[in-house]
Structure 1
Amino acid sequence: MATGWPQVGGLWVVEWRDRPGFLGWCALFPFDNNDQLEMGYRLLPQAWGQGIATEAGQAILNYGFSRLELDTVIAVTHPNNGRSQNVLKKLGFCATGAVTYHGQSVVSFLLTRTNFETLTIA
């Protein structure tokens, strides 16, 4: 993985805050071979509905906008994944429409630095 991972972004393990236990991962990685980064996450079912995806997303967005000085971050979800879409909306992402990504129809979301900073300050 070290030789194939992009130069920007990253992959982080998500664990319980107060005890050991792998819950999933979150990442920033190149979106569809262009200059933009995509935020992604996958969590085990026992982590769903507890705010963990939102907390992990906030942490990697802080990293992306503060340390990497990104202007935008993209995310995509399956059209029927309302829970993940709600996480993205809580984080400040706005839906930009349906796109085809790796051969599947998905809903695309965009978060700008300005929107992120506005939500973080509020």
Structure 2
Amino acid sequence: MTIPTLLTERLRLRPVLSGDVDLMIELGCNPAVMQYVQPVMSAEDTRKVMPILMDYPHSDDLGHWVVETREDNMPVGEVSLGFLPLNRPDVVPDLKAGDVNYSDEVEIGYLYLPSAWGKGYATEAAARLLAYAFNDIFLKKIVAVTDDRNHSSQKVLTKIGMRHTGDRHAYGYDVQGFEIRADEWKSKAKST
């Protein structure tokens, strides 16, 4: 199975394509976007990771999606489901060669252009990814991590029903952890 295109009321989440390199450079090279994520990437390094964004090497069910508005097909960000990295190499990793050590936990992640901030897109797309994770590929749990200072991202995670689990280690740093189990998500979905 390859990752499907997913729809919400306002958004289309579609697999990353080679033509999305400009969006990925715009996200990865923007200090405001990357402030709480990782050091700003160069355009060259972003191009190097494009094959991984287009074809996630660890699972056919997980990967990266471009988020675009359905009204005008405008790309506004990127979301992902993938195995949570425990370390972060100093160079752009060759993920297929094993430069990164992964946990067995699946993480939800996202990056948005500043022009998309404050419009509810992150919450809407992340909620749709949880539905895909629990209803379509039958995962048992999803985790997320944020920098301690990234209150906006933490707010998105709690809005989609994730619980704050405290300090944990990921990406080579101490970060704030969040999680939701499938049974918790299904219970919350029934009550709304």
Distance (Å, rounded) in 2 between the aligned partners of 1:35 and 1:120? 25
Superposition deviation, residue 110 in structure 1: 0.7
Partner of 2:145: 76
Return the letter of the residue paired with 1:101.
Answer: A
Q: Check 1:9–1:51 CA distance in 2 against 1; reply closer, same or farther (3 A cut).
A: same
Partner of 1:5: 57
Q: Check 1:98–1:45 CA distance in 2 against 1; reply closer, same or farther (3 A cut).
A: same
Superposition deviation, residue 4 in structure 1: 5.3
TM-score (norm 2): 0.60
Distance (Å, rounded) in 2 between the aligned partners of 1:58 and 1:36? 18
Partner of 1:64: 133
Partner of 1:20: 73
Superposition deviation, residue 105 in structure 1: 2.1
Return the match for 1:112 from 168, 171, 181.
181
Greater CA deviation, 16-25 or 86-95? Answer: 16-25
Superposition deviation, residue 101 in structure 1: 1.6
Distance (Å, rounded) in 2 between the aligned partners of 1:35 and 1:43? 26
Instruction: Give % identity.
Output: 34
Partner of 1:50: 119
CA RMSD after TM alignment: 1.4
State the aligned residue count: 122
Return the match for 1:30 from 77, 83, 98.
83
Unaligned runs of 5+ in 2: 1-50, 86-101
Q: Deviations over 1:15-36 (max 9, x none)?
A: 1121121111101001131322
From the CA coordinates, give the structure whose radius of gyration is larger.
Answer: 2
Distance (Å, rounded) in 1 between the aligned partners of 2:160 and 2:166? 17
Unaligned runs of 5+ in 1: none
| Bigger strand fraction | 1
TM-score (norm 1): 0.92
| Bigger helix fraction | 2
Greater CA deviation, 10-19 or 96-105? Answer: 96-105
Hey, which bits of structure 1, 4+ residues long, moved more than 3 A? Answer: none
Superposition deviation, residue 6 in structure 1: 1.7
